[in-house]
Amino acid sequence: MRPWWLLPVLTALLLAGCGEQGWQTKDITGSMPALEFNLTDENGRLVSAKDYLGKPTLLFFGFTHCPDVCPTTLAYLATLSKQLDAEARADLQVLFVSVDPARDDPQMLRRFTDAFGPQFIGLTGDKAALDVLTHRYYSLYEYGAKDAAGNYDVMHSSAVYAFNRKGEARFLFHGGDPTGPVIADLRHLSKDN
């Protein structure tokens, strides 16, 4: 006969060895492809996803003329990053991909991202490159009708995609989600090699 205490001890050991901590937000590990793109950065340089490997990366689609979702989400990300320790904060990069290249040239992108912090990097490309990237992550965008002054809105996803240093997709969340789980996941992401 086995001692009565053996079963709880074995169960605890098995559970402790079940692998890494899970993500507290939406886990997309293995269900989304690795980071891959060819775009133009806010300095007018042609860049690819390879230029951003080596750091934890957040990817967000939007546009600089966005009246609410984009500035609110980027401000939320800036607030979250300030709650990380100095090393994790300095390591994190946020790629803001404009899906409105007609209005968002590199200079406009740089002015916009600079308002949120040095870890924010503006990117854009032609419609073909943007379509490849947005389809890769099941993200949608659509241009609204122009008004008399030629202004228009752009509907787009509000998801923020998180990638580890190797460019592997790990989790996603939305601006305005409860901060506790997102911060915990960002801290975990900084250790995910």
Q: pTM higher than 0.75, yes or no?
A: yes
Q: Give the per-residue pLDDT at 21.
A: 54
Mean pLDDT by 10 residues, the chain (193 residues): 43 37 91 97 98 98 96 97 93 97 96 96 97 96 94 95 98 94 96 82
Determine the angle formed by the axes of helices 179-191 and 69-82, rounding to 10 degrees: 60
Reported as half-sphere exposure (CB side, CA atoms, 13 A), residue 5 has a value of: 0
Residue 166 structure tokens = 């190797």
Q: Give the per-residue pLDDT at 92.
A: 97
Q: Give the per-residue pLDDT at 30.
A: 95
Q: What are phi and psi of 137, to 5 degrees?
A: -110, 20
Which residue in this structure is represented by tokens 């007018």? 44
- Please tell me the distance from the alpha carbon of residue 22 to that of residue 78, in angstroms, as a whole number: 24
Q: Give the per-residue pLDDT at 193.
A: 72
**159-163 and 57-62 beta bridge pairing:** antiparallel
Which residue in this structure is represented by tokens 């404009």? 98
Q: Give the per-residue pLDDT at 9.
A: 39
Question: Burial of 67 by CB count in 10 Å (0-12 exposed, 13-18 middle, 19+ buried)?
Answer: exposed
The answer to whether 181 and 193 are in contact (CB under 8 A) is no
Q: Give the per-residue pLDDT at 22.
A: 86
- Please tell me the distance from the alpha carbon of residue 25 to that of residue 170, in angstroms, as a whole number: 10
The answer to whether 95 and 56 are in contact (CB under 8 A) is no
